[in-house]
Amino acid sequence: MQSKTLCKICNTPCKHVFNKIIMTKYHNIKYYKCPNCGFLSPETPFWVEESYQKEAISIDPDRLKRNIYVKNLIMKLIKNFYTDDISILDFAGGEGLLTRFLRDENYNIFNYDKYSESLYSYEYNIKDLNKNYDLIISSEVLEHFSAPDEELGKILQYTDNYFFTTCIQPENDLENWFYLIPDNGQHISFYTTNSLAYLAEKYNMNFYSDLWWCHLFTKKDLGDDFTIILPDQIVRQKLEFKIFHRMSFVSNSNNALKKNLSKTGRKSFKKYRILNSLYQRGINLLDFEWRNLYGE
């Protein structure tokens, strides 16, 4: 008898939605989606260790550009909601690019990465997590977690403010979503705003998100001011709607959570649809924002 695959976020039995070939050689790998929070993950990812033996940079040519983009977002976030002298940790910061960029701007940032030599930030690398930081950031990390709830719990022990990027699932055509990257095998956890909201609720934090890529878990109440960190006018003027959207789920009641989640889910999907239509027209959303940011 086959045991049920439970959601790694909310523990609900998941539904098998499609199969993929991983790393061009592991066939018929099943992907499961949670009917409650929407979280998606492949079956037990036995290939992960092997996947990191490949040259990651070869399939991630946007790495530099993305780090500059995130640096600008972090600077806006700090300028508007924190102070310049806060302690910051880049969790799983890879080669240390983001730490380098923010150090160059005089921020008090350190880099932590269990698996990388972090060449660019070697003076500011830390070996162990053993102290608190005012802000922890992670760029493109959560989709690599094999046990997201557990990993997130560990990070949140050390901060009340966690800013991270990970792409939110599209509403349609999930099977062909670019972010699955099955050939590479390293992306194994895929979130919805509801699954992130569920985690924020669990850790008693406010959740702010652009409903697409950038997210903040925080004990602070930022109100609607969070829209200030928008990179440019892409959403405010061109698309004429707010990409950043506040979601607050500080509540211990499961019923309240359910109510909030279903309410948020509807709002999220409505707003997502506009971005998704861009994506379906072949516009790479990340590039679209970057181009806009640098005024091409």
Binding site for Zn ion (CB under 5 A): 7, 9-10, 12, 34, 36-37, 39
Shortest spacing between CB 153 and Zn ion, in angstroms:
16
What's phi and psi for 33, nearest 5 deg? Answer: -120, 140
**Tokens in use for 166?**
């990970």
Q: Which is nearer to Zn ion, 41 or 161 (by Cβ)? A: 41
DSSP character for 125?
A: B
In the structure encoding, which two tokens stand for residue 137, read together?
């950031």
For Zn ion, give the closer residue by CB, 57 or 256.
256
User: Under a CB-based contact definition with an 8 Å cutoff, are residues 101 and 68 in contact?
Assistant: yes
- Alpha carbons 104 and 86: distance in angstroms, whole number: 15
Place of tokens 């806006």: 76
Q: Quote the CA–CA distance of 7 and 150 in Å, as a whole number.
A: 13
DSSP 3-state of 28: strand
Which C-beta is closer to Zn ion: that of 16 or that of 238?
16
Least spacing, CB of residue 192 vs Zn ion, in Å: 9
Largest CA distance in the chain: 58
- State the minimum distance, in angstroms, from the CB of residue 269 to Zn ion: 16
* Minimal distance, residue 39 CB to Zn ion, in Å: 5
Contact, 288 vs 278, CB < 8 A? yes
Give backbone dihedrals phi and psi of 28, rounded to 5 degrees, phi first: 55, 40
CB-based contacts of 90, cutoff 8 Å, min separation 6: 96, 98, 99, 102, 109, 110, 111, 112, 121, 136, 137, 138, 139
In the chain the first and final C-alpha atoms are separated, in Å, by: 57
Nearer to Zn ion, 10 or 22 (CB): 10
Cα angle, residue 184 at apex, residues 162 and 93 outer, rounded to 5°:
30
**Closer CB to Zn ion, residue 37 or residue 155?**
37
Nearest CB to Zn ion, comparing residues 6 and 228: 6
39 vs 164 by CB, closer to Zn ion:
39
Nearer Cβ to Zn ion (38/231): 38
Amino acid identity for residue 102 in this structure: L
Least Cβ distance, residue 260 to Zn ion (angstroms): 15
